A and B are shown apart, each in its own frame.
Chain A
Amino acid sequence: MSTYYLGIDIGSVGGKAVIIDDSGKIMTSSVVPSGTNYSTTATMLKEDVLSGAGLKPADIKASGSTGTGGRNVVADSYHGVIVCNARGVNLIFPAARTIVDIGGQGSQLIDIDENGQVINFNASEICATGSARLLQLVARILQLNIKDLGPLSLKSMHPSSFSTSCTVFLETEVITRIAQGDKPEDIVAGIHHSIADKVSALTRGVSIRPEVAVIGGGALDIGLVQSIEEKLGLKVLVPQNPRVIAALGAALIARDRSG
């Protein structure tokens, strides 16, 4: 009979959970808003993935938590999100040596070895421009669904250029660009460049070694991923479900600890 492991990641914006089997294969996953009561969110996530995988609580041999709110979660172990990201990416892309994580409140760059151990990392300060938050704001101004930003931006021939890197000022500048007649695809592509610039500023602390994996909510935006590729000058890998990588890492660590 096989055994299962649960990983829960309560981030600043989203709560994620995965259930893996002994081999590390993701049986099911769930993403919900983190909300304000993290332990309630964690309970909800747990019920969600258990029913998704058709399992009972007793089938879970061990659990691990991570993320901003991960300490509020009842689990067998807690580990920092950087360590969990490293473990998760290592399982999916064993060749990855650099991780770019674009999360809800900032971005980080993680340098890992062939075993998924963290060598070095550089995290941005909490800043909306280096995060998926800016995408949300721009989607709102342009009255678009955030999911449509990426595909739309690929049509851009002349990305808008922005004079500021602060989301607060960018909001004003986006409106000015609209008034000047810039096309939505050009504005979105320009915003992607702004985020990619902010992310690439992190390379002053951490060197980029191929393969590079992009994870976090920002990785769902194909246009942003392409901007990052352009900025770093190389192709990157994006996992199928880039938001649950830290939860996967937490589950893997729980599995290894339960021996």
Chain B
Amino acid sequence: MPGMDNLTSHLYFAGIDIGSTMSKAAVVDAESRMLAYVVGPTGAEHRLYANKLMEDILRKAGLTLSDIAYIISTGYGRVNVPFADKQITELTCHAKGVAALFPEVKTAIDIGGQDAKVLKIKNGRLVDFLTNDKCAAGTGRFLEVTAETLGLELDEMGRISLQTDSPVKINSLCTIFAQQEIISRLSEGELLPDILAGVYIAIATRVVKLARQLKVEMPVVFTGGVAKNAGMVKAMEAVLGVPVLVPQEPLITGCLGAAILARDEAFKKVQRGEYEAHRDKKLTEARIDFGEKSR
């Protein structure tokens, strides 16, 4: 389209992913290249502050809000981003972000703080998915609860688990009962690395069971906060029986996808002649209405 390059080449696009545990934002240019990203904890009241996250990403990218042509919010808290132009579900955004980093991807496994998702992707598009958001087993929460039980840091747990190749079998699927089992294994004299390696195997087993329902095809990309854990990546490969690809920053596939979708959306608007160059946007705080409880 003639003239479009001039109109859009100086524009930037943002994606904001408010997850259950972590909030992430990314900015891309007209070529879908990522300029910057930020990651921070969502926290109990921090979900009010998507505007602060936006300020951070603008500062990091060296941009102002008026440089951003379009903003898409995604994730569990996507409704709490009042300045977003559009909300898109995390499944669509994840698929887009993963395919941007790994164009050949066929299976994406995302383990977040409170859920796990398996995405089947074909030619960069989401074709099928399954999620687990009913049970803490097989999510980052299982690891958090275990870390609390053992008084360890999350990344420390991963490092310790790598010291062994003989994981202890953790029989309890339920997070609550698994904690009891971990304590009694320790008191039975099992070694901490073996127990931790067993914890990762238990989570991987739970998620791979979900993935197998959709048939696992290579290449497999592993994302989400839990993919940052080296022990978890090792366990995932052991249980899947194939190598997994992990992005350099596994948390940002959702917000990257949202930013790229924001770019696509803005381009469509330009093509339709609906794009307003001068937007009167403000970074406002979300107002969360806890509302009346459902009766």
A: which residues have CB within 8 A of B?
Answer: 36, 105, 125-128, 133, 137, 158, 160-161, 164-169, 177, 180, 182
Contacts and interface: CB of A to CB of B under 8 A. Distances in A.
Interface of B: 114, 134-136, 141-142, 145, 172-177, 184, 187, 290, 293-295
Given A133-B176, A158-B293, A180-B293, 8 more contacts: A105-B174, A105-B177, A126-B174, A126-B177, A128-B175, A164-B134, A166-B136, A168-B141
B176 to A, nearest CB: 4
Nearest to B291: A180
A168 B293 contact: no
Contacts of A125: 173-174
A133 B177 CA distance: 9
Contacts of A160: 293
Contact of B176 (A36, A128, A182): A128
B293 A182 contact: yes
Contact of B134 (A133, A165, A177): A165
Contact of A166 (B135, B184, B187, B294): B135
Contacts of B184: 36
Contacts of B136: 166-169
Contacts of B142: 168
Contacts of B187: 36
A133 B178 CA distance: 13
A169 B136 CA distance: 7
Contact of A180 (B172, B173, B177, B290): B290
Contacts of B290: 180
A166 B176 CA distance: 10
A157 to B, nearest CB: 10
30 contacts: A36-B184, A36-B187, A105-B177, A125-B173, A126-B173, A126-B174, A126-B177, A127-B174, A128-B175, A133-B177, A137-B176, A158-B295, A165-B134, A166-B135, A166-B136, A166-B175, A167-B136, A167-B174, A167-B176, A168-B136, A168-B141, A168-B145, A168-B175, A169-B114, A169-B136, A169-B141, A177-B293, A180-B290, A180-B293, A182-B293
Contacts of A166: 134-136, 175
Contacts of B135: 127, 165-166
A133 B141 CA distance: 19
B195 to A, nearest CB: 17
B134 A168 contact: no
A105 B135 CA distance: 15
Nearest to B114: A169
Give the 9 A-B residue pairs with the shortest CB-CB distance, closest first.
Answer: A168-B136, A128-B176, A168-B175, A166-B135, A161-B294, A127-B174, A166-B136, A126-B174, A167-B176
Nearest to B290: A180
Given A168-B145, A169-B141, A161 B176 contact: no
A105 B171 CA distance: 13
Nearest to B178: A126
Nearest to A104: B177
Contacts of B141: 168-169
Given A105-B177, A168-B145, A169-B114, A126 B293 contact: no
